[in-house]
Structure 1
Amino acid sequence: MEYLSLPPGYVTTKLAALAAGVEPSTIRDWVRRGLLRPCGGSTRRPIYRITDIHNAKTAAKPRRSTAA
């Protein structure tokens, strides 16, 4: 079940992914990595601020080292 109405500037995981141009799994990965935090909702249906999504997208992502 989706939310019927959210406050302006807040989105679900699916809409956050659409806004960032990524897959919903990427949004969940950003949460797991600590780049993004839900601001409400429930564990199964979190909601996010649009500004937080933009900040997570532009944040420096850690890279894997390629030690020889």
Structure 2
Amino acid sequence: MEYLALPPGLLTTSMAARACGVKPATIRDWVRRGILTRCGGSPKRPYFRVADVTEAMLAAKPCRPGQRGATAA
């Protein structure tokens, strides 16, 4: 269930995922890892600032050898 009236400039988890081209689980993982912070909502239905979502999407994600997308150094 989505919010009926979300304040301007805020995104739900599913909206943020669509904006970044990732799955909602990735957004939740970014929150768990500290890459993205919630700005309100409830624990089960958080929302995020558009600027924070954009910053998290552009942030360099740490990767380990053997992971997809990791480059050999």
Question: TM-score, normalising length from structure 2?
Answer: 0.84
Equivalence for 1:52? 52
Structure 2, unpaired ranges of 5+: 67-73
Letter in 1 for 2:28: R
Equivalence for 1:61? 61
**Is 1:9 the equivalent of 2:9?**
yes
Number of residue equivalences:
66
Distance 1:21 1:8 in 2: 21
Identity of aligned residues (%): 61
Runs of 4+ in 1 over 2 A off after TM superposition: none
RMSD of aligned residue pairs (Cα, Å): 1.1
Structure 1, unpaired ranges of 5+: none
Asked which structure has the greater RCO (Cα within 8 Å, sep 6+), the reply is: 1
Distance 1:65 1:2 in 2: 38
Equivalence for 2:40? 40
Question: TM-score, normalising length from structure 1?
Answer: 0.90
